[in-house]
A and B are shown apart, each in its own frame.
Chain A
Amino acid sequence: MAEPLLQLTELTKHFPLKRRRVVVHAVDGISLSIGEHESLGLVGESGCGKSTAGRLVARLQEPTSGTVSYRGQDISHWSRRRMRPIRSEIQMIFQDPYASLNPRHTVGTIIGGPMEVNGLRPTERGIKELLEIVGLNPEHYNRFPHEFSGGQRQRIGVARALALKPRLIVADEPVSALDVSIQAQVVNLLQRLRREMGIAFLFIAHDLAVVRHFSQRVAVMYLGKIVEIGDRDSLYERPRHPYTHALLSAVPDPDPDTPRRERIRLAGDVPSPVNPPSGCRFRTRCWKARDRCALEEPPLVRLGGNAEGHLTACHFPEAPTTHGSDVVLDPALS
């Protein structure tokens, strides 16, 4: 395999809470790679550390330990000045299209501003072209963010990221604030950009169905750890980690004929990342947990029956069969 575009190795980010002398284990030793033109989906529930991971990749935050390598170079502790040539190559799209655009700037300034900072010369024609690419009316060049709808604002955010000709875009929940009918528009737009411009994506989302439509590979995070990672089809068809399985079974399905009772109901909520459970972090909500899970942290490895590159961190994984066909639930949970 060629050298990956991005490589995270044992990446860790802890946030100390000063007042209570404790530490939030936001990201706790994750390793993954993204190839050129590849799209990796990062999924998990709130508080699992997926957004922090994205911010570490975009170097908006500095890791506590571990490395972020971009095209073979360890950039995890590079200074602002050293980062400058790379800054434009790694761009970020945010969840909230309302908060991430300066309300006092016109669309033209919003898109052109970062170009100027990065030594590119923005031209009105270039910006209008960008607007056209993301599906906005180029004539709206001089309008302000509040004159656009939520979906259009997210398009402005996309255009701003595109302006710097990035090789990697970190998209943090780019569609979750949008209405369903608009969500699909933005997902399709990003999909087109990936195909046509060859931009690699780290696509962070909580919605597994959306991620499935966008990503070639998918990583599932739980409480700061990657519990399963693999090619999309392998992971969605044959999830081996009970958590992945539970997440998949909880994906909303508009078909009233889908048997509902097959759904796995996880008990309780995600534990606090301040004090994560010992051993396997999922064990407190897992129906398969046994003593070993509390004592030993399961390594992220390829299990027998898994496809190449499909890694799972579980002592008692699910059988490698197509998901949904033989779901046996613990009677205690139903």
Chain B
Amino acid sequence: MIPDPSFLTVRDLYVQFKTEDGVVKAVDGLSFGLDRGRTLGIVGESGSGKSVTSMAVMGLHDPRYSEVSGEVWLDGENLLTATPRRMEALRGRKVAMIFQDSLSSLSPFHTVGSQIGEVLTKHTGASRREARERAIEMLARVGIPQPKLRVDAYPHEFSGGMRQRAMIAMALVCDPELVIADEPTTALDVTVQAQILDLLKALQEETGSAIIMITHDLGVIADVADEVMVMYAGRAIERGTRREVLKAPGHPYTWGLLASMPHLATDPDSPLRPVRGTPPSLLTLPSGCPFHPRCDYADRVPVDLCSTERPDLHPRTGHSSACYLSQTVKDQIRG
């Protein structure tokens, strides 16, 4: 990871929601960056803050219920201080988003073609006919057969895979420079997942856009990410290149994620090694390292550092993990 990328820089991002039970610290001081043409994979489990982060970058949090602070610099412009009008002009044109559930995320009341076309009419002032032509083109580009017929179909008339393709067409119709894909393949069957990831990669090669890929699936990360950020309880606990994080992970949580994920190379007769316990409540985060109550190695760190002092990522180096364990101890543990 490049510490000072030119294209997207997120610094000290905090997102808090006011609820009846208290303040939920969904994102708790997050910094990362991304360059054009690169893919950043954000991995984490539910409640880790990965989706909240993406909504903050898009400026989609309702200010009445949430508090967003920090800086989100996109191409030299701080999105968090931009006017609502300016954000509307950026959304869909410069930054686009692909959502997980294509059935609920597309309007059931409008044809696929009109939903793709309206992005164009909104941002480029294209005429209805031009928009329709472009929509057909885009449908063909994302591999939907008979695009001229399908452009007038409604989302519920598409299969899951086709709908996700249509959603990608909708996100990419204005050639956005940053694409945020929030679990784009989670709702799909495995054989269709691979098709969609291939498509995203191919389109990225064509357009040179930057992609933030949000997922809980390390397999997806291994497939498409150039850089990886692992999130836990609203914080980044590890970041590095795909190879660094997946082959030489430095945080016990990342170890746990990798060990608990069954795949075809693991020994099927030995039990999986889950992370013990459950993720913390975002209302009352543990003191110190948010992972320490579930960590098997907190006692290998001198004094009570893990439970008192919150570890941070190294601000400069590429591969870094927010953990007090020394490299020697880590090597020892990992054998």
List the interface of chain A (C-beta within 8 A of B): 45-46, 149-152, 179-185, 187-188, 191, 206-210, 212-213, 232, 236, 246-248, 250-258, 260, 263, 265-266, 268-270
* Additional A-B contact list (6), CB under 8 Å, known A182-B275, A252-B190: A185-B260, A185-B276, A213-B262, A251-B263, A254-B222, A258-B265
The complex places the Cα of A269 from the Cα of B222 at a distance, in Å, of 24
Report A-chain residues with C-beta under 8 Å of the C-beta of B162: 269
Report A-chain residues with C-beta under 8 Å of the C-beta of B279: 149, 179
The complex places the Cα of A252 from the Cα of B266 at a distance, in Å, of 12
Is B221 in contact with A254, judged by CB distance below 8 angstroms? yes
> Which residues 254-284 in B have Cβ within 8 Å of A in the complex?
256-266, 268, 271-276, 278-279
The answer to whether A180 and B278 touch (CB under 8 A), given A188-B272, A191-B271, A206-B190, is no
Is A254 in contact with B246, judged by CB distance below 8 angstroms? yes
The answer to whether A182 and B274 touch (CB under 8 A), given A247-B190, A265-B194, is yes
- 16 A-B pairs with CB atoms under 8 Å apart are A46-B189, A180-B216, A180-B218, A184-B261, A209-B262, A210-B262, A212-B268, A213-B262, A250-B190, A251-B219, A252-B217, A252-B261, A253-B263, A255-B265, A256-B246, A265-B194
Is A184 in contact with B274, judged by CB distance below 8 angstroms? yes
Q: Choose one: A179, A180, A210, A256; the contact of B242 (CB below 8 Å).
A: A256
Is B159 in contact with A269, judged by CB distance below 8 angstroms? yes
Q: Choose one: A184, A191, A257, A258; the contact of B260 (CB below 8 Å).
A: A184
The complex places the Cα of A266 from the Cα of B198 at a distance, in Å, of 12
In the complex, whether B46 has a CB less than 8 A from a CB of chain A is yes
Report B-chain residues with C-beta under 8 Å of the C-beta of A250: 190-191, 193-194
Q: How many inter-chain residue pairs (CB < 8 Å) link A and B?
A: 137
List the interface of chain B (C-beta within 8 A of A): 45-46, 159-162, 189-195, 198, 216-223, 242-243, 246-247, 256-266, 268, 271-276, 278-279
The complex places the Cα of A247 from the Cα of B219 at a distance, in Å, of 14
Is B189 in contact with A179, judged by CB distance below 8 angstroms? no
Is B260 in contact with A183, judged by CB distance below 8 angstroms? yes
Is A253 in contact with B272, judged by CB distance below 8 angstroms? no
CB distance from B61 to the nearest CB of A (A): 23
The answer to whether A253 and B190 touch (CB under 8 A), given A188-B274, A269-B160, is no
Report B-chain residues with C-beta under 8 Å of the C-beta of A179: 45-46, 216, 279
The answer to whether A265 and B274 touch (CB under 8 A), given A180-B260, A206-B190, A258-B222, is no
CB distance from A51 to the nearest CB of B (A): 14
CB distance from A10 to the nearest CB of B (A): 27
- Residue among B46, B161, B258 having the largest count of chain A Cβ atoms under 10 Å: B46
Is A247 in contact with B191, judged by CB distance below 8 angstroms? yes
The complex places the Cα of A150 from the Cα of B223 at a distance, in Å, of 28
Q: Choose one: A150, A185, A191, A256; the contact of B243 (CB below 8 Å).
A: A256
